[in-house]
Amino acid sequence: MTTASESQSRPGDQGINVAKVTANDVNVYYGDKHALKGVNLAIQANEVTALIGPSGCGKSTFLRCINRMNDLIEGARVTGTITLDRQNIYDRDLDVVQLRARVGMVFQKPNPFPKSIYDNVAYGPRLHGLAHSAADLEEVVITSLERAGLYAEVKDRLDEPGTGLSGGQQQRLCIARAIAVSPEVILMDEPCSALDPIATAKVEELIDELRENFTIVIVTHSMQQAARVSQRTAFFHLGELIEVGNTEQIFTNPQHKLTQGYITGRFG
């Protein structure tokens, strides 16, 4: 962990007042496997934070810690604390279900429910009783679709199944579904890995717009994508957080030689 604190912007201690999410000494074990080792990281509100690093280094694992999706994995164990607005989300009396309404997630593979486009987006609001009338609900659905940049393409077929959309449209539907719950933080695990360049560009544009209202954490394998969409970048290696800083600084002037090697493509 010494290396991480050596870097210019110190995670964990800098700007604790504005940090939306802070991870303090987070360790994750899958059975005997120590997958995440003492990670300290502060995620700022209304910023896009990119997590990069070679395959298997623990990016998804860290992401899943933030909305406790690791609870669903048999044998996974998390130690340390993660706070969301200074409240420890691993507290005993925290309601996981409510946490997940505040921290939304978009997955690597688009996973629309086998329901209509409308019902897909309406699912979360209905679940949490966010809309008080049918008109309310419709408004939430439409604004979410609009913000996800999908409304124009699907407005005439809201009652058709979401699974019938193209891959890129499905992913934007999943983003609309996630923002319909008005979460505070949105986690995205390689949201563009199944998409073509055009759909990717659309999603990236969308992420940039969403930053205004949400805090976004995105895992990506594409250096260019991280450089394009994120303000801060965190580099993981073998379960450790090696370096974190402003995206520009990480890509132009990395402090650690592992980071340097990774972004110049010498390994990983």
Ligand X SMILES: Nc1ncnc2c1ncn2[C@@H]1O[C@H](COP(=O)(O)OP(=O)(O)OP(=O)(O)O)[C@@H](O)[C@H]1O
Q: Does residue 97 touch other proteins according to CB under 8 A?
A: yes
CA gap 47, 210 in Å, rounded = 9
Q: Does residue 259 touch Mg ion according to CB under 5 A?
A: no
User: Which of residues 56 and 114 has its CB atom nearest to other proteins in the complex?
Assistant: 114
Q: Which of 7, 49, 60, 171 binds Mg ion (CB under 5 A)?
A: 60
Q: Does residue 55 touch ligand X according to CB under 6 A?
A: yes
Q: Restricting to residues 57-96, which ones interact with other proteins according to CB under 8 A?
A: 67, 69, 72
The residue with tokens 């679940």 is 127
Q: Restricting to residues 147-166, which ones interact with other proteins according to CB under 8 A?
A: 163
The residue with tokens 């979460």 is 183
State whether the Cα torsion 7-12-13-14 is positive or negative. Answer: positive
Q: Compute the least distance from the CB of residue 67 to other proteins, in Å.
A: 7
- Cβ neighbors of 33 (< 8 A, separation 6 or more) are none
What is the total count of residues that contact ligand X (CB under 6 A)? 12
- Cβ neighbors of 264 (< 8 A, separation 6 or more) are none
| Tokens representing residue 98 in the block | 């409510």
| Tokens representing residue 189 in the block | 């695990």
H or E segment to which residue 215 belongs = strand 215-219
- Cβ neighbors of 78 (< 8 A, separation 6 or more) are 26, 27, 28, 65, 70, 90
Q: Which of 73, 98, 205, 252 binds ligand X (CB under 6 A)?
A: 73
Q: Does residue 61 touch Mg ion according to CB under 5 A?
A: no
**Piece in contact with ligand X (CB under 6 A), picked from 16-24, 52-60, 141-149, 243-251:** 52-60
Q: Does residue 60 touch ligand X according to CB under 6 A?
A: yes
Residues near ligand X (CB under 6 A): 30, 33, 35, 53, 55-61, 73
Contacts to other proteins by CB under 8 A: 67, 69, 72, 97-101, 104-105, 107, 109, 111-115, 123-124, 127-128, 163, 174, 177-178, 181
